[in-house]
Every structure is written in structure tokens, then in C-alpha cells.
Structure 1
Amino acid sequence: MPKVFTPLEANRTLPLVRRIVADVLVRGRELRRLQALEDLTVEDEDRAAVLVAELQELLDELEQVGCSFRCPNFEFGIVDFPGIIDGRPVHLCWRDDEPELRYYHDPRAGFAGRLPIPQELLTAQA
């Protein structure tokens, strides 16, 4: 059963999550650049294989924390944490350019359906 986070618990993980996501973005963007090349050298192919393995390790680290990376094109570092708001399962949602986690969305709505987390849940004791 996956861990369910309160907004405060999710925010406490952000120093670690931020570092992992920064590494994911660097490697993911390099992989995209290599995949866009028309003529890959053997070195490019070897590097791409290393990047794929490193990305999998980083994504596994996020899963161990209890969250998931949600931007497969590596344009942004979007991470969802399982949570509950108003008795409903939600995804607490953080993006790498945000100072802290402040939004959530219905699991079916995705990033475009983000709503602000009620202030009392951001300041309440966990």
C-alpha cells in the first residue's frame, strides 16, 4: 500500500526530492538531445544507455520516497505525492520551480486541474 502524505509531510521531503528531480532533469534532457540526433555514434548510444539506467535509478529513488515523477518529456520537474483532502484521494503536486508544495489535483485531472491546498492543511501540525 503506498504511503499517503499530508501536505506538511510532502513538503518535508522536498530537500531530497528537489535534488533527485534536478538530476532527473539533467539526465532526461541530455537523453532527449541524444535521441533527437539523426546519426548516433557508438559513444552516443553508449551514453544514452547509461542515461536510461541512471534515470531509472533516480525514478526508483523517488518511488522509495513515496512520490512519482510526472513529466516524461523532462520539460519540468513535476512530482505527485499520494494524499487525501476532504476525504478524497488526491495527488499533492509540486513543480521544480515552486518553493514548496501548495497544490493538489484529482488523480484523473492531472497537472492542468491543480487547485490550491487549503491553507489550514499547509500549517496544521502533522
Structure 2
Amino acid sequence: MASENVQRYFTVEEANQRLPLVRAIVGDIVELFEYVYNREQSLREISELPGSSSRDEETIYSEELRLAAEELEDDKKRLKGYFDELEDLGIELKDPRIGLIDFRSMMDGREVYLCWKLGEDEVTHWHELDAGFQGRQSLLEQPVGESF
């Protein structure tokens, strides 16, 4: 499943070449993540209702709740599979809600991230390892002499 933690560095061109596959995986992640999150919230609310989860007796919804919980676990496993798929490609998922990912890269001898978000046509931003999404900088505004 997951890779052996071998560090992979991407150029902007390599990152953009992988976007068709990455776009499909990340699209699936965003959709399934929202579904799983909403389903978890619903099941939690239902289980907190009076009489919905008596340990000593079966309620009329016990079987339905059990099946819903099993389906939720299956969906979580599918989601983990998508996460692992990105990891195997050397890509770091930063926010599954919005489809934010980073490609590790090198710029002037230091590690940085090439940053991409679902809905963007191509990789157009980068940031320092500790800067996060708020620290995104345009690749077009890159200082002279710095290269990826």
C-alpha cells in the first residue's frame, strides 16, 4: 500500500503531468470525505437520541444503525485507500475537504512545496515547508535566479 518513505521531488512540469490522475483521485477524496463526515455526524446524533441505543435491548432501529455503521467503516477504508494512492505517488494530501495537495520540490537547494488545489487548472503556486496554504506564492512571481 503506502510507499517506503522514499523522498520524491517534483519539478513543476512533472507535477502538472500527474494532474489528470491526481485530479481524479482528489475529486473522489473530496466527495467521499464530505459524505463520510456528514454520515458520521448523522449517526452520532441518532445514537444520542433517547432510546436509540439501549445496551440491554434491541431497538427497532438497531439493525439499521448497525448496517449504517458498517457501511461507514467501508467508506472510511475506501477513503484511506485514496489517501494511500496519493502517498504512493509521492504526493501529500493537506486538506481532504477542499482537495489541497503538495508536491515536494527543490528550489535553490532547499525543500519547498508545489501547491495545488482541486479546481485549479495546473500547479501555479509554491510555499515553504512550514508556510502552509496561507504562505502560497505564485510561480510567476518567483524571484530571478530561483528555479524548480
TM-score scaled by structure 1? 0.87
Q: Pick from 57, 60, 65: which aligns with 2:89?
A: 65
Q: Pick from 11, 24, 35: which aligns with 1:30?
A: 35
63-72 vs 6-15, which moves further: 63-72
| Superposition deviation, residue 78 in structure 1 | 0.4
1:12 maps onto 2:17 in alignment: yes
What is the aligned length? 119
- 1:23-53 per-position Cα deviation (integer Å, ceiling 9, x unaligned): 1111111111011111152222112101110
- Amino acid of the structure 2 residue aligned with 1:39: I
**What 5-or-longer segments of structure 1 have no aligned partner?**
121-125
d(CA) in 1 for partners of 2:9, 2:35: 33
Bigger CA radius of gyration: 2
| Superposition deviation, residue 101 in structure 1 | 0.5
| Superposition deviation, residue 119 in structure 1 | 7.1
Give the equivalent residue in structure 1 for 2:68.
Answer: 44
| Superposition deviation, residue 118 in structure 1 | 4.0
**How much identity, in percent, do the aligned residues show?**
33
1:82 maps onto 2:104 in alignment: yes
TM-score scaled by structure 2? 0.75
- Amino acid of the structure 2 residue aligned with 1:117: L
d(CA) in 2 for partners of 1:100, 1:27: 23
> The residue matched to 2:113 in structure 1 has which SS?
strand
d(CA) in 2 for partners of 1:67, 1:118: 22
d(CA) in 2 for partners of 1:50, 1:26: 15
Q: Which runs of 4+ in 1 moved over 3 A?
A: none
